[in-house]
Amino acid sequence: MNTPEEIGKIVRRLRGSESLRSFAERCEVSHTTIDNIEKGVDFRTGKPTNPSAFILSKIAKAAKVSIEYILGTETEEVTEISDLRPIKTKRFPML
């Protein structure tokens, strides 16, 4: 499993040349959240970031990768962004 610093590097790589605010908007999270994850440190507390699974799932969905890729638990080696598999979503019936 990736450390907060490694997760930050992956998120930064997934963002590419897209602006922080634009990427955050696509992920439906604040730009501050993305910035903290990328830096690996919460600027308010100075402590390492610990993004929730919910936040990471939003980032994964927007970047069209699996959350396992971000967490470092995916078993296949990925060498380029174009090699990433899109995430599979499950459809649930309306209640």
Report the pLDDT averaged over residues 8-16: 95
Q: Model-level pTM?
A: 0.75
Pairwise CA distance, residues 86 & 94, whole Å? 24
With bands split at pLDDT 50, 70 and 90, how would you rate the model's confidence at 64? very high
State residue 39 phi and psi, 5-degree precision.
-80, -20
More confident: 81 or 39: 39
With bands split at pLDDT 50, 70 and 90, how would you rate the model's confidence at 73? confident
Furthest-apart CA atoms within the chain: distance in Å: 43
Which pLDDT belongs to residue 94?
Answer: 52
Mean pLDDT estimate for the chain: 85
Which pLDDT belongs to residue 91?
Answer: 54
Closest CA to 24 of 51, 63, 70, 52: 63
